[in-house]
Amino acid sequence: MLTRRELLAGSLSAWLLPAQRARSAGEELLAMPGKRPLIKRSFRPPNYETPLADLRGPYTSNDAFFVRYHLANIPIVDARSWRLRVGGASASRALELSLADLQRHYEHVTLAAVNQCAGNRRGLFTPRVPGVQWTNGAMGNALWTGVRLRDVLRTAGVGGDALEVVFDGADTPLLPATPDFIKSLPIDRALDENTLIAFEMNGRPLPRWNGAPARLVVPGWVGTYWVKQLTDIRIEPRACDGFWMKTAYRVPTGAFPGVRFASQETPETTPVTEILVNSLITSHENGARLPRDRRSELSGWAWDSGSGIASVDVSTDAGQSWRPATLERELGAFAWRGFRWPLDTSKAGPVSILARAVSRSGARQPERLTPNPSGYHHNQIQSLALEIA
């Protein structure tokens, strides 16, 4: 792992591969071991965004998947010696499981799911809000393989008074005053059949920067709950009162739709939970120039918290009229779904494209953002400017 001295001195030599620096559209691209060049948002902790071009495939490559950490001390965990401790005041017994124990003694499950940071597109908020200034790439879609969390919890025994399940990972703060990154889930979400302890991503062992050797996968919920490098799981009868639950990742109560986290809610604020319906055009960069009379097609992805995408509509007249795009096959309830739209390139000049997703639950992307102090849940209808010449 990086030493404290290296971090405090600002040295990134242990992270960055030589000659893997570039600049694209005014943004610095850097490659860490095992990663292709990604958009650097911060060094310490490491926060790196996936470029738009790497979001065009149905599954985001492991080496292109975004990196999000809150703490700077991130160890290299040996999968052979790694142990997962499971217990808590509402557990009947304490467990200590190796990776081999998980892989041998529990049913394996594979599902496709979008992993999206709650602050994705924060950098597009106006006025500016504090935090990592992500654009569109603090997200990706992958196939996650692991075991059901509920199977492990049931081995430990879930008491009738269980309220939340609390998770900790191997990453640690540099300074004692910095709170450890500890998250919790309500007991019903922890026992949901789709919540996993994953050890594979797109058919390969998890990359270090994405949580190796095992991480939590909470499909349909924002990425803050997807705790990486899991080390401890506790079944508790009380609400977790750590900083990352009681203070961070909260929005004004009632400001957004989605499932509630009742044990963590106050009259003023509530934790972010589910991903909101959203879409992203990936085929073209904003400001791209297209040859006149040459066939061109718009394409991208739409996703929500798991109800599924019912339609994606496209407008070329500033939202005065909308026409349905063609939807691609579904990859899974929690995965994104592709859409296509033929572009009319017969006339030269600027073209403004709007794309709007509608979920099967009836939710649709809003025309305006919902203001909130931390810039969460940016799912405003996307506008794309193109030039035909």
SS3 (DSSP) at 243: helix
Q: Which residue has the higher pLDDT, 26 or 254?
A: 254
296-330 per-position pLDDT tens digit: 999 999 999 999 999 999 999 989 999 999 999 99
pLDDT of residue 27: 85
Report the topology of domain 278-388.
Immunoglobulin-like (2.60.40)
Contact 198, 145 (CB under 8 A): yes
222-251 per-position pLDDT tens digit: 999 999 999 999 999 999 999 999 999 999
CA distance 73 to 45: 8
Residue 6 reports pLDDT greater than 70 = no
Contact 199, 205 (CB under 8 A): yes
CATH of domain 83-271: 3.90.420.10
> Would you list the domain boundaries of the chain?
4-68, 83-271, 278-388
Residue percentage of the chain with pLDDT more than 70: 93
Residue 23 reports pLDDT greater than 90 = no
DSSP element (H, E) containing 6: helix 4-9
Give the list of residues 6+ apart from residue 217 with CB closer than 8 angstroms, or none: 111, 113, 115, 144, 146, 195, 196, 197, 198, 226
CA distance 168 to 13: 27
Residue 137 reports pLDDT greater than 90 = yes
pTM for the whole structure: 0.93
